[in-house]
């Protein structure tokens, strides 16, 4: 959120003083006050309106004390017993909007204000606050001695201009600069971000109101630059569909033997459980229903012993969902007891399985992440590559964790970090595979918590970019969060006597 400091009616005996406001925050542990930031110094006014805003992270679970000190360059001497003015502190939640806009304006036939010469015009931009008051958000440079100034293009975040509210009034005042600080008012006009952004395709001419003679300001260019994040989509309701696929091929070793990668020991989790838990526990926070489909591949299933390369770990093909990561673990342990490890190692059936669902929701409302945990050599490399090339056009990413001591050459190739993966001359539209070898994350001193956090971090590192690439190339914008989300904070200003 941002804090805007507005000071009204300071009673100065000397007019040549400068005012500055300093914000302090308090440490959580030691309660010590530390300077967080200070505004610019404003001279010669009884109502300094600071442009500087303090932007602080807001923590729901913490009590955050703030202290504002107002300082003057010369001591403020009020008349004893008289009110020396008020300081108004406003807190407003920042819009989660990461757009910025690059604009350039020029003036036409502005009023001549200077006795010698023409005018020295500059523009002051104000955004309107929720309570209808205005706050300065930008000042242009002064163009000397002209009635037809062309100001330099400037870039401003849309949240500074209108707090992300496209229809909120933006007021622009035109002034003639004066050396003594008493700038002459030429006139003003109002617009909104929505109106300004029309300037992307056409010139917009604004009549300057309240000016002595008719004059205009023209918006010469307007370029919108959007920077949306992964979280914008999640807040906007995009669901992450997280599917797990586990390798049940014989190369993992007999699960009843301690040498097996699937060995279940009462003392220590095996590599599959550890990787599953590490990645799953991070991802589950983005999946609101926390119901995860879990698949296995490369095993002979009961009762008839047929080999399957895509079976539901919970034994229910119509409803492969497991409840939470615990549910996935439980289904994995149950499967180990019922299926027979077999082979070969085929990846393409599970990739196609998820791709079938991903191809049904291409509107950005769902994004699919498939976690494949496997011990080694892939037997259907050509099909797997084709499946990945096909899936690269879908809202889908694939994470592969390699367990055991094997060389993971194929998996490294699938990762495509160096050479974009292709199949029969067709290249993947984007990189959707991230591979990590589990053994690189084993902490010899047994600090699994830290090492698994590192694994999850590395394995998930590329997902937000892969996700954003999909959304960007499809022109999908994040949905706006429900209105209540952005208007929970009180808009009423706090008033403090100083």
Ligand X SMILES: *[C@@H]1O[C@H](CO)[C@@H](O)[C@H](O)[C@H]1NC(C)=O
Q: Which residues bind ligand X (CB under 6 A)?
A: 241, 243, 293, 320, 348, 352-354, 357, 366, 383, 386-387, 390
**Shortest distance, position 236 Cβ to ligand X, whole Å:** 17
**Shortest distance, position 262 Cβ to ligand X, whole Å:** 22
Alpha carbon 136 to its chain centroid, in Å, reads 26
**Shortest distance, position 347 Cβ to ligand X, whole Å:** 10
**Shortest distance, position 475 Cβ to ligand X, whole Å:** 22
**Shortest distance, position 429 Cβ to ligand X, whole Å:** 12
**Shortest distance, position 340 Cβ to ligand X, whole Å:** 24
Residue with tokens 């003392």: 267
Query: In residues, how long is the chain?
Result: 498
140 vs 387, which CB is nearer to ligand X? 387
**Alpha-carbon gap, residue 333 to 270, rounded angstroms:** 11
Give, as one character, the DSSP assignment of residue 77: -
The region, left, alpha or beta by phi > 0 then psi within -120 to 50, assigned to residue 132 is left
89 vs 393, which CB is nearer to ligand X? 393
78 vs 315, which CB is nearer to ligand X? 315
176 vs 386, which CB is nearer to ligand X? 386
Tokens of 240: 């992450």
**Shortest distance, position 297 Cβ to ligand X, whole Å:** 13
339 vs 350, which CB is nearer to ligand X? 350
Residue with tokens 């005018």: 119
> Within 13 A of 311's CA, how many CA atoms are on the CB side?
26
91 vs 331, which CB is nearer to ligand X? 331
Residue with tokens 């084993």: 442
**Shortest distance, position 416 Cβ to ligand X, whole Å:** 16
Q: How many CB atoms lie within 10 A of CB 119?
A: 26
Contact 112, 159 (CB under 8 A): no
- C-alpha pair distances (Å), 88 with each of 48, 127, 492, 495: 11, 17, 10, 5
Q: Cα angle at 123 between 118 and 129, to 5 degrees?
A: 155
Going by C-alpha positions, the residue among 93, 95, 58, 358 that lies closest to residue 235 is 95
206 vs 297, which CB is nearer to ligand X? 297
**Shortest distance, position 370 Cβ to ligand X, whole Å:** 7
197 vs 314, which CB is nearer to ligand X? 314
345 vs 348, which CB is nearer to ligand X? 348
**Alpha-carbon gap, residue 72 to 20, rounded angstroms:** 6
Helices marked H in 169-270: 193-197, 230-235
Contact 18, 43 (CB under 8 A): yes
**Alpha-carbon gap, residue 216 to 206, rounded angstroms:** 5
């Amino acid at each position: 959120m941002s804090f805007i400091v507005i000071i009204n009616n300071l009673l100065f005996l000397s007019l040549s003083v400068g005012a500055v406001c300093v914000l302090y925050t308090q440490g959580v542990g030691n309660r010590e006050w530390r300077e967080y930031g200070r505004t610019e110094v404003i001279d010669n006014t009884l109502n300094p309106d600071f442009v500087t805003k303090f932007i602080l992270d807001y923590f729901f679970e913490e009590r955050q004390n703030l202290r504002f000190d107002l300082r003057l360059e010369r001591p403020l001497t009020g008349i004893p017993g008289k009110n020396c003015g008020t300081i108004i502190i406003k807190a407003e939640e920042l819009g989660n909007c990461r757009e910025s806009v690059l604009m350039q304006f020029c003036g036409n036939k502005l009023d001549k204000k200077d006795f010698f010469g023409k005018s020295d015009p500059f523009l002051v931009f104000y955004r309107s606050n929720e309570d209808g008051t205005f706050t300065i958000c930008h000042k242009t440079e002064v163009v000397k001695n002209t009635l037809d100034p062309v100001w330099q293009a400037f870039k401003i975040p849309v949240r500074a201009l209108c707090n992300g509210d496209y229809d909120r009034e933006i007021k622009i005042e035109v002034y003639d600069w004066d050396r003594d600080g008493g700038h002459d008012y030429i006139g003003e006009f109002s617009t909104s971000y929505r109106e300004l952004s029309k300037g992307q395709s056409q010139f917009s001419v604004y009549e300057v109101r309240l000016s002595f003679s008719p004059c205009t300001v023209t918006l010469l260019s307007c370029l919108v630059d959007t920077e949306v994040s992964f979280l914008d989509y999640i807040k906007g309701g995009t669901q992450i569909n997280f599917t797990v696929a586990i390798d049940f091929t014989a190369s993992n070793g007999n699960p009843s033997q301690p040498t097996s990668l699937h060995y279940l020991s009462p003392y220590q989790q095996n590599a599959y459980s550890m990787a599953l838990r590490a990645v799953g526990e991070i991802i589950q926070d983005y999946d609101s229903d926390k119901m995860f489909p879990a698949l296995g591949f490369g095993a002979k299933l009961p009762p008839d012993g047929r080999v399957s390369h895509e079976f539901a770990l919970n034994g229910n093909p119509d409803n492969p969902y497991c409840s939470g990561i615990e549910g996935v673990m439980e289904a994995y342990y149950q499967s180990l007891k019922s299926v027979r490890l077999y082979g070969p190692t085929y990846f393409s059936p599970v990739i196609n399985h998820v791709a079938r669902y991903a191809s049904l929701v291409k509107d950005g409302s769902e994004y699919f992440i498939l976690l494949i945990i496997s011990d080694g050599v892939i037997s259907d490399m050509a099909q797997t590559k084709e499946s990945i090339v096909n899936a690269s056009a879908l809202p889908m990413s694939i994470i592969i964790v390699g367990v055991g001591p094997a060389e993971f050459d194929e998996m490294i190739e699938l990762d495509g970090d160096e050479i974009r993966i292709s199949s029969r001359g067709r290249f993947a539209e984007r990189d959707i595979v991230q591979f990590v070898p589990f053994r690189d994350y084993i902490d010899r001193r047994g600090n699994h918590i830290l090492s698994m956090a590192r694994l999850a971090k590395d394995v998930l590192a590329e997902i937000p970019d892969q996700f954003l690439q999909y959304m960007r190339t499809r022109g999908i914008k994040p949905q706006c969060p429900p209105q209540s989300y952005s208007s929970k904070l009180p808009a009423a200003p706090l008033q403090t006597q100083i």
